[in-house]
């Protein structure tokens, strides 16, 4: 059983403070994943190393953790053999526990993950011809209660730590076999680029903070995790390949642009107050006009780095010609460098909404395009494993542990039976 109580937070709140950066482990060891070099050095000093040695070991360990992706101190070959047991006794190189991994018929992969204190969350990998996108969660559950979103029907349990956020990226690289090769020995003959991670030829090229939770309600931890992802000596993924999606937590949007600097996506979904109030209740606190002004003020937004507006297409709710024209009017009124992602509504049990017809979606898209704004229709992915946009909700709520064990046993037995 999970041992953390639900966060007692109402639906419309300001950003949640989150002081805990490490989830305590039952064995007393400290998980180093999610920690920057200064914090690792600090922990090494507290454990008994002198300042000079702690600084050196922190640099070495940081490299092995984030650049090479090792999960065992014995693999850190430039650290003395006598030192490695000392590290293993006090620290651990963690990954989120994989409870279940699913593959969609279209290649999408979804993982049900578990924290050290027993809470479940999900991440999704979406392969495409030109890119591979990892959809990362920032919270266990969600507090926003968006009516069209399955994740929004969950209660917010707690914020994920930096380690639990960056750990999703590292787990995906483990699964895809995409850790850079190279050494930190620094010899003159060493190829400096041998260990540099680039998106060329890689399966995982992009990250979107669009999984479970509202990233800007866990700002500090999301910022710290993405800083590690973008660190040139660590995971080294460009900020231009990272997109953070928000439902419109306006007080944190400027800080997001200034302190993280990644691409911004906004869950809009409605252009009339009554409709957006229903679909995205946060609109009652921060209205459409305030939201669009915050987008206009977003640091770094330009025609080269447009803000993406996500718009789920719901039959007879937000999909009329008038809605499309109002969307164009609003974006132009604020002179926004924008593109609109039209997302066919992904059904889930008890949703109470239907997806707009393909013809209606095309008509909506045409009107926005004719208004001079790009409005591609997103192809639904992973629907058969509930991994599509708006469908993420912890599978543990639907399946018992015994049921998952039976399914795993049946899957393992299937190849043998076929042979």
Catalytically annotated residues? 122, 389
How are beta strands 109-114 and 30-31 bridged, if at all?
A: unpaired
The b/e string for 182-211 (b: 16+ C-beta within 10 A; e otherwise) is bebeeeeeeeeeebebeeeeebbbbbbbbb
Count the Cβ atoms, other than its own, within 10 Å of residue 45: 16
* Among 228, 224, 221, 161, residue whose Cα is nearest residue 197: 228
The H or E element containing residue 410 is: helix 401-418
CB 230 within 8 A of CB 242: yes
- The residue assigned the tokens 């591979």 is 132
CB 394 within 8 A of CB 122: yes
Rounded Cα–Cα distance for residues 78 and 194 (Å): 17
Q: At CA 343, angle to CA 340 and CA 345, rounded to 5?
A: 150
Give the distance from CA 282 to its chain's centroid.
20
CB 239 within 8 A of CB 262: yes
């Amino acid at each position: 059983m999970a041992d953390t109580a639900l966060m007692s937070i109402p639906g419309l709140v300001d950003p949640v403070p989150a002081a805990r950066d490490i989830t305590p482990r039952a064995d007393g060891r400290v998980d180093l994943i999610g920690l920057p070099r200064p914090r690792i050095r600090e922990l090494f000093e507290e454990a008994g190393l002198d300042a000079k040695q702690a600084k050196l070991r922190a640099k070495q360990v940081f490299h092995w953790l984030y650049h090479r992706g090792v999960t065992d101190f014995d693999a850190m070959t430039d650290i003395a053999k006598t030192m490695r047991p000392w590290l293993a006794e006090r620290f651990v190189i963690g990954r989120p526990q994989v409870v279940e991994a699913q593959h969609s018929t279209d290649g999408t992969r979804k993982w049900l993950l578990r924290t050290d204190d027993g809470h479940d969350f999900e991440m999704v990998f979406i392969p495409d011809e030109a890119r591979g996108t990892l959809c990362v969660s920032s919270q266990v559950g969600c507090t926003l209660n968006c009516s069209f979103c399955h994740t929004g029907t969950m209660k917010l349990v707690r914020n994920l730590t930096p380690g639990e956020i960056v750990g999703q990226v590292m787990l995906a690289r483990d699964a895809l076999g995409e850790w850079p090769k190279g050494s930190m020995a620094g010899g003159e003959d060493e190829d400096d680029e041998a260990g540099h991670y680039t998106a060329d030829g890689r399966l995982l090229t992009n990250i979107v903070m669009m999984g479970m939770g509202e990233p800007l309600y866990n700002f500090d931890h999301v910022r710290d995790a993405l800083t590690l992802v973008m660190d040139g000596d660590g995971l080294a993924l460009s900020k231009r390949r990272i997109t953070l999606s928000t439902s419109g937590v306006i007080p944190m949007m400027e800080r997001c642009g200034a302190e993280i600097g990644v691409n911004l996506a906004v869950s809009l979904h409605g252009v009339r107050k009554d409709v957006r109030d229903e679909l995205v209740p946060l609109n009652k606190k921060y209205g459409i006009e305030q939201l669009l002004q915050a987008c206009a003020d977003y640091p770094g937004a330009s025609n080269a780095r447009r803000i993406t507006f996500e718009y789920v297409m719901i039959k007879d709710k937000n999909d009329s010609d008038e809605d499309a024209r109002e969307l164009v009017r609003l974006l132009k009124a604020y002179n926004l460098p924008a593109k609109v992602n039209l997302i066919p509504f992904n059904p889930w049990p008890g949703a109470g909404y239907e997806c707009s017809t393909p013809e209606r979606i095309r008509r909506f898209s045409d009107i926005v395009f004719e208004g001079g704004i790009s409005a591609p229709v997103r192809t639904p992915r992973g629907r058969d494993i509930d991994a599509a946009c708006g469908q993420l909700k912890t599978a543990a709520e639907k399946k018992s542990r015994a049921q998952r064990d039976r399914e795993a046993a049946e899957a393992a037995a299937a190849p043998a039976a076929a042979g």
